[in-house]
Amino acid sequence: MTKKRILLKIGSNTLTKETDQLSRGKIEDIGRQIAALHHRYEFIIVSSGAIAAARQFVKLEHNGEDINVKQALAAIGQPHLMRIFQENFRELGLFTSQCLLSYSDFEKKESQENIKNTIDVLVANNFIPIINENDTVATDEIQFGDNDKLAALTAVLVGADLLLIATNTDGIYEKGSLENERPTTIETVSNIADLKKEISHKKSTHGTGGMASKIEACTIAQRAGVETWIVNGLEDNFMANALGGTSKHTRVKPEGANTKQPH
């Protein structure tokens, strides 16, 4: 049976469980789900969290919001982030690999082919690629996006069947329901223009994205025929529950005849 390919994007709020530190328990939860689902699905991960990892260990001089300080923190935190993934996943019999990308890598055909070929080889040999922006040379996702756009571009490039964005809400809520303090999830949508009218532009606590960057990611994926689900990564078993149809989340349907189905 040919496995379906899932591009899982994990935001900072999910990895920290909305605290100031990376949650090993959440990373273990993600690993356990992948181990349970790997017979049907193959996974590629785009993970934020390098800056959050660094802040557990160091406090740099200078203004902590300065972009160069954040780049330095990312450089310090990335090895810690990968170590935590490697340790937790290895105990579950899962092997990891690191890929650092920047937007310029998606602009050249040769670079695109190299990325796809490398990721295909890693996946074929049961290594889970864990991707982050190369924050030492690029600042786009540090300043805004929390890797949402990077995840969408990667999902399209590697031919993912599903882009799964883990965040800290049950998908995208109807704006009116938030005003009434009774959040109601928009479960299925195909018209992104309608979806844009519903979103809040407030950014998340630890991440730099918010729903606006997720809508941008959905737009990129939709145009390429890739379905996107926005799920609550704070919940245990969030992937298994979403794939099993037992959780509330937002599904953004793709355009055109090249519709890919995750099931």
Residue 256's pLDDT band, with cuts at 50, 70 and 90, is low
Per-chain mean pLDDT for the chain: 88
Please name the helix (run of DSSP H) or strand (run of DSSP E) that holds residue 15, with its range, or none: helix 12-16
What CATH number is attached to the domain comprising 51?
A: 3.40.1160.10
Query: Does residue 114 lie within any of the structural domains?
Result: yes
Query: Does residue 154 lie within any of the structural domains?
Result: yes
Per-residue pLDDT reduced to its tens digit, 53-85: 998 888 777 665 688 888 888 899 999 999 999
> What global pTM score does this model have?
0.90
Q: Which domain holds residue 126?
A: 4-252
Query: Does residue 108 lie within any of the structural domains?
Result: yes
Average pLDDT over residues 237-257: 90
Per-residue pLDDT reduced to its tens digit, 162-201: 999 999 999 999 888 887 888 899 999 999 988 888 876 5
CA distance 217 to 200: 16
Lowest mean pLDDT among 70-79, 111-120, 215-224: 70-79
Q: Name the domain count of the chain.
A: 1
Query: Does residue 70 lie within any of the structural domains?
Result: yes
Query: Does residue 179 lie within any of the structural domains?
Result: yes
Query: Does residue 259 lie within any of the structural domains?
Result: no
CA distance 240 to 247: 9
Q: What is the DSSP string of 56-68?
A: TT---SS-TTSHH
Query: Does residue 261 lie within any of the structural domains?
Result: no
